[in-house]
Structure 1
Amino acid sequence: MDQRLEELIAKSNNIVFFGGAGVSTESGIPDFRSVDGLYNQQWKYPPEQIISHSFFEADPEEFYRFYRAKLIVKDAKPNAAHLRLAKLEAQGKLRAVITQNIDGLHQAAGSKNVLELHGSTLRNYCTRCGKFYPVEFIAESEGIPRCECGGIVKPDVVLYEESLDQKVLQRAVRALEAADLLIVGGTSLAVYPAAGLLRYYGGRELVVINMTPTPADKLATLCIQQPIGQVLGE
């Protein structure tokens, strides 16, 4: 536990947390861009190509093969970082979690106001009739998962080439504008447009918790290069 961080948390009443893949690595979910991350494992195509909208349209079978193998995570549990953030929200200090993750672990930990910039693997919809399907439907199906109406069941996940949900973005901007402490954790801030949201933060105190340097470090009140669960855990 970092003493300076705890002092900043203690004196803040409108905290926003902005997080990425590094928040979930301690729950056993691999980070896309780390050295041993998904991007460096062998597939016929680069992962960023497979999880693009055009690839989904052109070769849905290969898309779902990769999606089941790499993006649906079974048995992952919230770690100390997820649990601490949920506790801060329950105490009335944390107002929003803005996440680039699609694993639903913040909600599993008890966080209520979670703004999922890139959607969630837990929500899946028929592209034809809109019927909802849980993650198990895709995980347990083979080939291209289809609704009873015949339409393809697609995860509610923002693929490359797709735009972010405007309502979620607007809520994130409003949360950042009102915050008095922004904690950025487990993200290299390399993915746009998500990383560009930080410019809407108007508060004074910025904390960055990430294993590697980020573009926000030079603006930060405090930079901590340690695993986030270890830092936020009590």
Structure 2
Amino acid sequence: MSLIPDESDKIESLRALIKDNNNIVAMLGVGMEIECGLKNLFSSEECYRIEEEYGLSPEELFSAAFYTTKKQKFYNFYKKEILDREASPGPGYFAVKKLQEMGKLSACIVHNISGLADEAGIFNIIDIRGNIRVNECPKCYRGYSLKYMKESKGIPLCRECQVPIRPRVLLRGEMMRNDLMTMAADAVRDASMVLILGTKMNDPLVSSFLQYYEGEHVALITLHKHFSDDLAEICIHGKVDEILPQVI
């Protein structure tokens, strides 16, 4: 990838910053999923397509109320639009893993439910909105794999209890888990550097955690320019998959 001089300078500055910091918290946004080939179901284009196909918006279909009252229709949507999406972790995820292997990554706060960070082998993940790879029976708490969820016919049922298995993802209308929010806030508070990837500085989750940060080093890699970019010490515009591997 050809970089303009200013971008090259920023990459060198980010490389030096990472070299000097050994307690880095990474925040992974939806942009990283999109780079891996997943579509943002809540984008205007996808919202239109989904409403045309299902007669309801993604917000309605992917809600706690819809899951509770119309499980069959929920799973029709969930399996096709979320579980059956094919994607593998891209170079950006493996660059984050390399940070971990270098002993520099203290936590990885993930804003998405795809589980790609987990698949890439990253540890110390805080899945703020859950993970499609985590599913359990609400009665006996037995866990079930993503493969089981995909291959089950209709509503996935617990083998023992014969009750619907609950995907441990945050549905619309549900409160975020306090323990996960506390873990993320504590990790950011204690960090020497925060690395924000594939999202915006003014994303509600990013800003809610950054309020706890007591340091000075916030770096952002994001594809699209935004007025909030100036809140970062270093901002590089481009794909995380292309830029982060150059830095690490």
The answer to whether the Cα contact below 8 Å between 2:31 and 2:199 also exists between their aligned partners in 1 is yes
Letter of the structure 2 residue corresponding to residue 127 of structure 1: P
Shift of 1:73: 4.6
Shift of 1:189: 5.8
1:42 aligns with 2:42: no
Letter of the structure 2 residue corresponding to residue 220 of structure 1: A
Aligned CA RMSD, in angstroms, stands at: 2.0
Mapping 1:1-234, distance limit 5 Å: 2-34=11-43, 36=45, 38-43=46-51, 44-73=55-84, 75-148=86-159, 149-188=161-200, 192=204, 195-214=207-226, 216-234=228-246
Shift of 1:98: 0.3
CA–CA distance in structure 2, aligned partners of residues 118 and 220 of structure 1: 24
Letter of the structure 2 residue corresponding to residue 203 of structure 1: G
SS at match of 2:153: coil
Letter of the structure 1 residue corresponding to residue 197 of structure 2: G
Q: Which runs of 5+ in 2 are unaligned?
A: 1-7
User: Which deviates more, 140-149 or 110-119?
Assistant: 140-149
CA–CA distance in structure 2, aligned partners of residues 111 and 145 of structure 1: 28
**1:28-49 deviations in whole A, cap 9, x for unaligned?**
222234454x434233111011
CA–CA distance in structure 2, aligned partners of residues 58 and 191 of structure 1: 31
Give the structure with the larger helix fraction: 2
CA–CA distance in structure 2, aligned partners of residues 81 and 54 of structure 1: 35
Shift of 1:214: 4.7
Q: Which runs of 5+ in 1 are unaligned?
A: none
Query: Identity of paired residues, percent?
Result: 29
Shift of 1:164: 1.6
When residues 144 and 190 of structure 1 are mapped into structure 2, their CA distance, relative to the original with a 3 A threshold, is farther
CA–CA distance in structure 2, aligned partners of residues 27 and 136 of structure 1: 20
The answer to whether the Cα contact below 8 Å between 1:208 and 1:216 also exists between their aligned partners in 2 is no
CA–CA distance in structure 2, aligned partners of residues 178 and 193 of structure 1: 17
Letter of the structure 2 residue corresponding to residue 109 of structure 1: A
Letter of the structure 2 residue corresponding to residue 197 of structure 1: F
TM-score normalised by L of structure 2:
0.86
SS at match of 1:144: coil
SS at match of 2:186: helix
The answer to whether the Cα contact below 8 Å between 2:133 and 2:146 also exists between their aligned partners in 1 is yes
SS at match of 2:50: coil
CA–CA distance in structure 2, aligned partners of residues 115 and 93 of structure 1: 16
The answer to whether the Cα contact below 8 Å between 2:38 and 2:86 also exists between their aligned partners in 1 is no
**1:72-114 deviations in whole A, cap 9, x for unaligned?**
1555221111111111111111111100121222122221111
CA–CA distance in structure 1, aligned partners of residues 14 and 215 of structure 2: 16
CA–CA distance in structure 1, aligned partners of residues 23 and 242 of structure 2: 23
CA–CA distance in structure 1, aligned partners of residues 76 and 94 of structure 2: 32
In the other structure, the counterpart of 2:3 is none
Shift of 1:133: 0.8
SS at match of 1:24: helix
CA–CA distance in structure 1, aligned partners of residues 78 and 222 of structure 2: 26
CA–CA distance in structure 1, aligned partners of residues 84 and 245 of structure 2: 23
CA–CA distance in structure 2, aligned partners of residues 227 and 69 of structure 1: 27
SS at match of 1:42: helix
Q: How many residues matched?
A: 233
